[in-house]
Structure 1
Amino acid sequence: MLRVFAISGFSGTGKTTLVKNVVKHLTKRGYSVGTVKSSKHDILPPEGTDTYIHLKASAHPVVLLGPSTTTIRYTRKLSPSELLERIDADIVVFEGFKSSSIPRVWCVGDRTIEQKNIPDRTHAIISWKSTETENTYSLPVLQSNAIEEIVDIIEKHAVQPEHVQF
């Protein structure tokens, strides 16, 4: 049964590195894992490539079948719910999605942020700093290399998609 969890925070706080490590550890625990990354930019295939030409001709979708991968490009933004219908995984980790109600950990990097700026449904703060410093949050603060503990939180708090608003 598909479940979702987010790794959120501001730019430059270590989200992508944490996602990479979390995916590796969830996979070692036997889960199939998908990821969804939010971006402010559209990414097009290089100009002049066949897939670029197909897109410019208004094909929808454009599918690229490689020797060992498949890429499907839609010419409109899919909702997270539509994406999840197409993902066959046990857990989908969303990177970003600060405004959603997905359960999450919140990356702060080496910064300190005010408790009031941490979204609801946050289950831990992830920091690059030593956790031996004073914890001013009402949540656990974990170092970014405490992957086993972070994955434990994900296993415990990931929910089915119908329980969140994107």
Structure 2
Amino acid sequence: MKAFSVYGYTQSGKTTTIENIIRELKKRRYSVGSVKEIHYEKFEIDTKGSNTDRHKKAGSELVTARGYFETDVLFPEKLPIEKILSFYDQDYVVLEGVTDYNIPKILSAKSIEEIEERIDEGVFAISGRIANEIDSYKGIPVINSIDNLDALVNLVEEKVFEILPDFDPNCCSACGYDCRTLGIKILRGEANREDCVISKNKVKLFIDDREINMVPFVQNILSNAVKGVVSELDGYKRDAQIRIEIGNENEK
């Protein structure tokens, strides 16, 4: 799965840019999901006093409302982006307003001053109202999503890569960089997505079909622990593929 964020100032054209990108990606036969970051402390999608609100206040840790035409799952907390993305399996996920995760970004702006205030090394394109005035900024293409949508989505296809891990730099730098620096170098063409050693790992852990990223150190611990046990069993062969499944402990 690939993900990127479109962020910037209010009224700069963010949502219009996202709408256009989504439509064009769908036209190109990709499956697409989206995430909207809401910068408003008092925002609540649930209505105070509603049945689901009463469930939540009574202590339910996860509340689901199922209607005739939609299903809404309500978490009584702010989830990290990594957890949110685990619910998606689309080809692309477009995030609006998200800047705290290790993904490529498109900056939407109304002026050069706004670009200079918000730009960072993860930006691979600029769009929004400023695209009516300039076509590049310090080597970064500035593209109007209305008049030149094909070029913008071509750039999305070219630049956006499979989601990288976002480990603490102290936990993993096996590729020679921390995760965020590797992402920047991929955008610049100075590295490849395959340089991330996690994508090459021979030890994979799945919980309810969701793969859990592990740094090489943890992979080695898990691998050595499993091999230490199964190597004493009949049928063990050196370098054989080992598969373990653990079911629900409450099953009878």
Q: Distance in 2 between matches of 1:134 and 1:40?
A: 29
* Number of residue pairs aligned between Structure 1 and Structure 2: 164
**Would the alpha carbon gap of residues 3 and 20 (structure 1) be closer, same or farther in structure 2, given more than 3 Å must change?**
same
Q: Distance in 2 between matches of 1:54 and 1:152?
A: 46
Whether the 8 Å contact between 1:131 and 1:141 is mirrored in structure 2 is no
Shift of 1:24: 1.3
1:128 maps to which residue? Answer: 129
Shift of 1:116: 7.2
SS in structure 1 at match of 2:164: helix
Correspondences of 1:15-164 after superposition (within 5 Å): 15-41=14-40, 42-109=43-110, 111-113=111-113, 115=116, 117-129=118-130, 131=132, 133=134, 135-145=136-146, 146-163=148-165
Which 4+ residue blocks in structure 1 deviate beyond 6 angstroms?
none
Shift of 1:30: 0.8
Which digits, 9 at most, give the CA deviation of each residue in 1:125-165, with x for residues without a partner? 11424656474532111123122211111111122222556
2:234 maps to which residue? Answer: none
What's the TM-score, normalizing by structure 2?
Answer: 0.58
Q: Distance in 1 between matches of 2:60 and 2:80?
A: 20
Whether the 8 Å contact between 1:33 and 1:92 is mirrored in structure 2 is yes
Q: Distance in 1 between matches of 2:19 and 2:134?
A: 26
Q: Which structure shows the higher strand fraction?
A: 1
Whether the 8 Å contact between 1:44 and 1:52 is mirrored in structure 2 is no
**AA matched with 1:152:** N
SS in structure 2 at match of 1:142: coil
Matched, 1:13 2:12: yes
Whether the 8 Å contact between 1:61 and 1:74 is mirrored in structure 2 is yes
Shift of 1:121: 2.0
Q: Pick the structure with greater CA Rg.
A: 2
Whether the 8 Å contact between 2:112 and 2:130 is mirrored in structure 1 is no
**AA matched with 1:45:** D
**Would the alpha carbon gap of residues 62 and 134 (structure 1) be closer, same or farther in structure 2, given more than 3 Å must change?**
closer
Q: Taking every aligned residue pair, what percent have the same amino acid on both sides?
A: 27
> Mean alpha-carbon deviation: is it higher for 55-64 or for 98-107?
98-107
> Mean alpha-carbon deviation: is it higher for 25-34 or for 152-161?
152-161
Q: Which runs of 5+ in 1 are unaligned?
A: none
Q: Which structure shows the higher helix fraction?
A: 2
Q: Which runs of 5+ in 2 are unaligned?
A: 167-178, 181-252
Which digits, 9 at most, give the CA deviation of each residue in 1:11-44, with x for residues without a partner? 2211112111211111111111111111223324
**AA matched with 1:107:** S
